[in-house]
Structure 1
Amino acid sequence: MSSVGTRQHGASKRRAITAMGVPFHKSEWMESGDDPLRSPTISLIEQAPNSTLGTHFHRQNQFQLFVHGGGSIGRDTLAPLTVHYAGAYTGYGPLVAGDEGIHYFTIRPVCEAGAIPVDQAREQMVRGPKRHAQAGPVACTPPEALAALRQASSEEVIAVADDGLGARVHRLPPHAPLDLAVPAATDCSFAVVLGGSLQHAERTLQRWESLAWWADETPPVLQAGPQGAELILLFTPPKAQAYQEAMIAALAPDHPARLAAG
């Protein structure tokens, strides 16, 4: 069953936080529990102007969509719409916000709170493959041009890799169905609306709203709304085996995932 992320849910969760000494506003647009194997989560992070989030890593695979403001990540300039991927236990940063601040969606197939500074890597890093990819800025289609489309098109902004990692933008004329082709190796897929609207069952998804589904689930049937649709599909690969083993080892002895692994 698909998980859904909405603007309304995000607005109800918006709050001020501090992470690694940096002030933010954070709002969860998609929540699906805290299961250590499957809990797709999308959070909007509003990083304060002229602030710097130091180099860090996470325990889960993640995409980020930079949607407002500007700044830099490491040596790379950030502007809307930049797509960034960091695999589990892959360090990235520093993340520097410019005069307008910088807003970005953090997108993970598994819920995780907090960042681990690189100066704690000795204690918390797990050996395994490191994975990084970035693309953009991707030009979003103006509303009038989107509504005037007569033919669907797609653009791979991060070429699909053997492990299922990739990102693809689709542009659909009004009421056109989405030809949803997901790479065979992909573990969890996300669809985020960039413009127009997207119909899913009886729900209409507007800009920045989203869906997530797993490889063994029936993919959603998606169709553009009356003004067309532009969306990005984000394909997350399975978590590397070394990290899966570390996660299972850390679970309580009676957790189903640990019992299944044993």
Structure 2
Amino acid sequence: MIAYGTRARAEATRRAIPLRFDGAEPSVFHKSEWMDAGQDPHLSPTIFLVEQPPNSVAPAHFHRQNQFQLFIEGDGSIGRHPLEPLTVHYAGAYTGYGPLVAGASGLKYFTIRPVYESGLIPISDRDKMVRGPKRHAQVGPIAAASTDSLQTLSAPVFDDVLPVAEDGLGVVVAKLPPGAALVAQRPAHAGDPFLVVLAGSLRNGEQELGRWESAFATSDEALTDFTAGPEGAQVALLYTPQKASAYMPATADGGQC
């Protein structure tokens, strides 16, 4: 399966969402859907951009699905950790994080999930938490490459900013000269990757992806089908692990589905 996240979809879906947390005055967030692959409960890759207003706070919370967040603009903090572009944050299913605090410039960040989910669950809703392994990681800031620097590369460069772990979680940043194939070293245990273009452009057949556009490729798809555009490409590969078995619904015979 390959799914694409495009700027055209985002521009058509951007909307204001007034949110009220913990009795505070409502804050107006904006949300735009970059990748929408339906709502299948097992595989429905989703990417949306959140524009969090200045000095607003999203409370500590968790989700039922694994997710990445890619912070691309503004400033703030997540828990005790400062945020600046380009920071990658990962929280596994039922792993609490936050609060997510926007600074004076606000925050813009992509939320990236292999399975569709709606909304957040405050940490205070302890009855909705499920026992199981908790997984959290944060890396960055990652420096955005200039297209001038990409065009001077003689060969692709790969940076394991978060080496792929045994559970399949990892973050790799690739820099490709013009026309180079995205020949990534994908360990057998690596999760299915999201590809996000950080600079330049990436092509796959007739599909061309510019900055912040994206793709999702299951393990049966060849990453070598992707090549850099005429200015080269810098691409973040976000390897997403499988959801922990403790969080998978039980089948009638007592197993996991």
Distance 1:259 1:19 in 2: 40
Distance 1:228 1:189 in 2: 20
SS in 2 for 1:119: coil
Q: Residues 138 and 5 of structure 1: is their aligned pair in 2 closer, same or farther, counting only changes over 3 Å?
A: same
Match of 1:15 in 2: 15
Pick aligned residue for 1:234 from 232, 238, 249: 238
CA contact (8 A) 2:248 2:256 kept: no
Matched to 1:31, the amino acid is D
Name the one with the larger helix percent.
1
Q: CA deviation at 1:219?
A: 2.5
Quick check: 1:148 aligned with 2:152? yes
Q: CA deviation at 1:261?
A: 5.3
Unpaired segments of 5 or more residues in structure 2?
22-26
Matched to 1:56, the amino acid is H
Match of 1:74 in 2: 79
Alignment: residue pair count:
251
Which digits, 9 at most, give the CA deviation of each residue in 1:55-79, with x for residues without a partner? 0000000000000001000111100
TM-score (norm: length of structure 1): 0.91
Pick aligned residue for 1:118 from 109, 112, 123: 123
Unpaired segments of 5 or more residues in structure 1?
none
Which digits, 9 at most, give the CA deviation of each residue in 1:86-137, with x for residues without a partner? 00000000110011100000000000010000000x2100100000000000
SS in 2 for 1:26: strand
Q: CA deviation at 1:230?
A: 0.4
The runs of at least 4 aligned residues of structure 1 exceeding 6 Å deviation read none
CA contact (8 A) 1:57 1:115 kept: yes
CA contact (8 A) 2:62 2:97 kept: yes
Distance 2:91 2:6 in 1: 24
**How much is the aligned-residue C-alpha RMSD, in angstroms?**
1.8
Q: CA deviation at 1:180?
A: 2.5
Distance 2:135 2:99 in 1: 17
Which digits, 9 at most, give the CA deviation of each residue in 1:9-38, with x for residues without a partner? 011110011345343100110000000000
SS in 2 for 1:144: helix
**Percent pairwise identity:** 53
